[in-house]
Amino acid sequence: MTSISRRPLVGGNWKMHMVGTEARELSRELVARLDQPAAEVVLFPSPPLLPTVAEVLAGSPLAWGGQDIHVEDAGAYTGDVSGPQLADAGCTWALCGHSERRRDHGESDALVGQKALAANRNGLTPLICLGETLSERQNGDTFAVLERQLNGALAGRPDPFALAYEPVWAIGTGETATPEIAQEAHRFLRETLADLIGEAAAGAKRILYGGSANPQNVADLIALPDVDGFLVGGASLDPEKFSTMIGCCGEAA
């Protein structure tokens, strides 16, 4: 596939951590450290923290997004968050289909696709998460799972979007896919994308790695031809670690 220059993208998924004062402090430190980041950076705080994060990040090069999005723009959906609400909070991104949402809330591939469309409809870019469990990898089903998830997510042809490969067996476990495993999965996703949206469009899409990325492994991973950045969990709560990881993206450029 033709090589295309893609600006690295790093997402910080804060998951269900912190309260307002902690989020404000972390956001301020990141703004101070990342006045000229080597990658596009987007933070994903819990919904109640969005106004606090938006206040601090306004005018900085850092963006913010929602950890989830409902398929409808309004309605009787207690506990959910809509695209218009995220956009009103200044979000420009939304996570769709994170492995924890699939696991804990039973989100299907089709639902993830509908969420991606809801994001686009409201001016947001969906970061679509895909990845296999340990048993699926051990059974040799990795590619079948990734193809199924990708087909479901792109059934309605959302655009723009980015992808995050999350080997579920590596999330929060301290395990990390070897560079060979990561590149194999990312290459497969890009080749499958090419069949769905064309080679040129697939070559321009960013595919992030999202399985326990940390300052010790990012340099090897970002050097891979089909790894375009990271979706970072726990390490994104540490400003020094997170900033170091972002810096590695510039060193590989």
Ranges of residues in the chain whose predicted pLDDT is under 70: 1-4, 252-253
Which of the following is catalytic: 70, 107, 166, 186?
A: 166
Q: What pLDDT sits at residue 172?
A: 74
What tokens appear for 193 in the block?
């994308």
Smallest Cα–Cα separation from 100: which of 246, 234, 241, 205? Answer: 234
What tokens appear for 6 in the block?
């893609």
Question: Alpha-carbon distance 112 to 69, whole Å?
Answer: 10
Q: What pLDDT sits at residue 16?
A: 98
Q: What pLDDT sits at residue 176?
A: 74
- Asked if 147 contacts 192 with a C-beta cutoff of 8 angstroms, the reply is yes
Q: What pLDDT sits at residue 3?
A: 53
Hey, what domains does the chain have and what are their CATH numbers? 9-251 (3.20.20.70)
Question: Alpha-carbon distance 162 to 208, whole Å?
Answer: 8
Does residue 100 have an active-site annotation?
A: no
pTM of the model: 0.96
What tokens appear for 135 in the block?
């048993």
Q: What pLDDT sits at residue 168?
A: 92
Does residue 29 have an active-site annotation?
A: no
Which of the following is catalytic: 40, 70, 98, 100?
A: 98
Q: What pLDDT sits at residue 231?
A: 97
Q: What pLDDT sits at residue 175?
A: 75
Average pLDDT, the chain: 95
For the packed helices 50-57 and 20-33, what is the interaxial angle rounded to 10 degrees?
Answer: 30
Q: What pLDDT sits at residue 113?
A: 98
- Burial string for 133-145 (b: 16+ CB within 10 Å, else e) reads beebbeeeebeeb
Q: What pLDDT sits at residue 252?
A: 67
